Amino acid sequence: MKKLAAILLLGALLALFSVPVSAQMERFSAVYMDSFDTVIQLLAYADSQETFDKWSAVVHDMFLQMHKMFDAYHSYEDEGIISIYTLNQRAAKEPVQVDPILFAMLTFCKSQYEVAMEQTNVAMGSVLSIWHDYREAGLADPEHAQLPPMDDLKAANEHVNLDDLILDSENTTVYYADPEMKLDVGAVAKGYATEIVAQILLAGDMPSFLLSAGGNVRCGNRPQDGRTAWGVGIQDPDGEVLGLTDYVETLFLRDISVVTSGDYQRYYTVDGKRYHHLIDPDTLMPADHFRSVSIITEDSAFADLLSTAAFLMPYEESRAFVESLDGVEAIWLFSDGTKQMTDGALALSKTGGATNR
């Protein structure tokens, strides 16, 4: 239902803000449903079906490749791909050579750890894997859903030191100094993949596009139909397939990303209470400050990292964190239905008077 909702809502929003396409450029779209456990949609303006199909194939192939590399729960060694899962099995025994894309992503995550106030830690895999297993069991058998024992979480939390992730740039190898450490890059993976694909499109002959990968949206150049910007909706966490009423805000964007972290995407229920997948590194429990946080900034990988970090902080701390960063704006949605926006986000929003005309 969530995948169907994503397709219908994005399509409805595009239709609302469309004007006739120029004779030189046509609007095309494609949907991919086999990567990152979400719907990925490409909307773009191209000079022909052939041009669009060429780039659509590149987009699909790149997302598939990175989906496999960034996967912490499946092996793809029979396809010649070293994934996070493979690293978690082998990298504590010896350095493992990885694809340059995966190496660069891990380097990015490690270098930005302090920038994200030590909230987004890809070395928390040992903790997150426990939550993953209990969530999967709870979804399969809701009547017997349980929370992970805190003692187990605390024991796993002894093995989340990012300094134990040893990256050798000369040989593009990865080594775990702590044999019980595990990686999980779910907090950054979709944004990182989306930005790589976006940069490929921007360098080609179809730079007018919008990429949507779950809660990650990357806008390329402005639409080639007379509009000045793309209309991007911020989802209502309680929304269903009800058309545009599922959006609590509309942003008008180009050459920028908006990434949302929320409590409504992956969760299970224990004794009538929902427990989502965004785990506070201090409490080892799901954070409950917001329903969602959306980050607006150019780089989708950075936006993904920051949205997770901002979601895990109390509001005053979260807002101060965002406002300390250049070129970063945010929208916070609270459980009572209210929202807060930075001044820059307000200026890009329908509420603030922005349009794409």
The angle at the Cα of 205, spanning 200 to 211, to the nearest 5 degrees, equals 50
Distance CA 298, CA 289 (A): 25
pLDDT at 12: 40
pLDDT along the chain (357 residues), means of 10: 38 40 80 96 98 98 98 97 98 98 98 97 98 98 98 98 98 98 97 98 98 95 97 88 69 98 94 97 98 98 98 98 98 97 98 96
pLDDT at 239: 78
- What is the CATH topology of the domain spanning 2-46+191-347? T-fold (3.10.520)
Per the CB < 8 A criterion, the answer to whether 124 and 131 are in contact is no
pLDDT at 196: 98
Distance CA 70, CA 78 (A): 16
pLDDT at 240: 60
The pTM for the full model equals 0.92
pLDDT at 214: 87
- Using DSSP, state whether 224 is helix, strand or coil: coil
Per the CB < 8 A criterion, the answer to whether 165 and 110 are in contact is yes
pLDDT at 4: 35
